């Protein structure tokens, strides 16, 4: 359905507030910037900001939904004959090889990560997001394999597959915070992915293989 004028204006207002807040956080730090300052810079009321973003952490992690369901989307979109782990490995390699900003391979990513590093509330929220990624992936694996609610396997597999993503993101964050060149980090992380794949058991690598329809 086509987006209505009211919905479009609300989306644009939300995006403008988020963009302005991100700029303020990067310039002044997360802790020191207040919701009132964000509202003033965006030329809206404080209540308007809270209507779109119930907490200041929501402003910073505005695009977290795309991260939380990233692995489950990759698993659900796996190819015929491809396992869940193989799909995630393939997608990660493609993102890293493309030096994609979606995995943090871009100039300025170090500033984003430093804001998180300096704010305990953001570090706590990041941990919560990582748990959401695991739970979302577990739910997808349980659905894709038809596993029962008492079967622990999807949760265990989500931990193994999520380890790939979390390790890659942590390595990229660490190297980008050291002011490394994104292309150089890309090459090193591709080698890291090869090493991690070698560490996975055959049971993990062959779990949830998509059958031909």
Neighbours of 56 (CB within 10 A): 21
Give the separation between CA 166 and CA 70, rounded to whole angstroms. Answer: 12
Question: Which of 83, 87, 89 lies closest to 193, judged by CA?
Answer: 89
pLDDT of residue 64: 73
pLDDT of residue 16: 94
User: Which mean pLDDT values do the consecutive 10-residue runs of the chain (213 residues) have?
Assistant: 78 93 94 96 96 93 84 97 98 98 92 92 93 97 96 98 96 95 97 98 97 84
pLDDT of residue 63: 75
Backbone angles phi, psi at 44, to 5 degrees: -135, 170
- Kindly tell me the burial class for residue 9, based on how many C-beta atoms sit within 10 Å of its own C-beta (0-12, 13-18, 19 or more): exposed
Give the separation between CA 39 and CA 24, rounded to whole angstroms. Answer: 11
pLDDT of residue 2: 62
Here the tokens at position 153 are 């396997």
3-state class (DSSP) for residue 110: helix
Query: pTM score, two decimals?
Result: 0.88
Neighbours of 79 (CB within 10 A): 10
Neighbours of 109 (CB within 10 A): 19
């Amino acid at each position: 359905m086509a987006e209505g004028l009211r919905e479009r204006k609300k989306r644009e207002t939300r995006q403008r507030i988020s963009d302005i807040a991100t700029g303020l956080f990067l310039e002044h730090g997360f802790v020191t910037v207040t919701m009132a300052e964000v509202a003033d810079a965006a030329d809206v009321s404080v209540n308007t900001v809270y209507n779109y973003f119930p907490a200041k952490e929501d402003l910073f992690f505005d695009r977290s939904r795309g991260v939380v369901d990233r692995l489950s989307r990759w698993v659900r979109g796996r190819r015929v004959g491809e396992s869940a782990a193989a799909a995630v490995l393939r997608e990660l390699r493609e993102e890293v090889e493309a030096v994609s900003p979606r995995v943090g391979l871009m100039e300025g990513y170090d500033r984003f990560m430093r804001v998180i590093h300096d704010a305990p509330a953001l570090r706590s929220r990041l941990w919560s997001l990582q748990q959401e990624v695991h739970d979302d992936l577990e739910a997808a694996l349980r659905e894709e394999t038809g596993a029962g609610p008492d079967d622990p396997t999807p949760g265990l597999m989500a931990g193994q597959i999520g380890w790939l993503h979390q390790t890659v993101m942590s390595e990229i964050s660490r190297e980008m915070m050291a002011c490394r060149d994104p292309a150089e980090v890309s090459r090193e992380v591709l080698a890291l992915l090869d090493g991690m794949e070698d560490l996975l058991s055959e049971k993990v690598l062959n779990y949830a293989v998509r059958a031909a329809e």
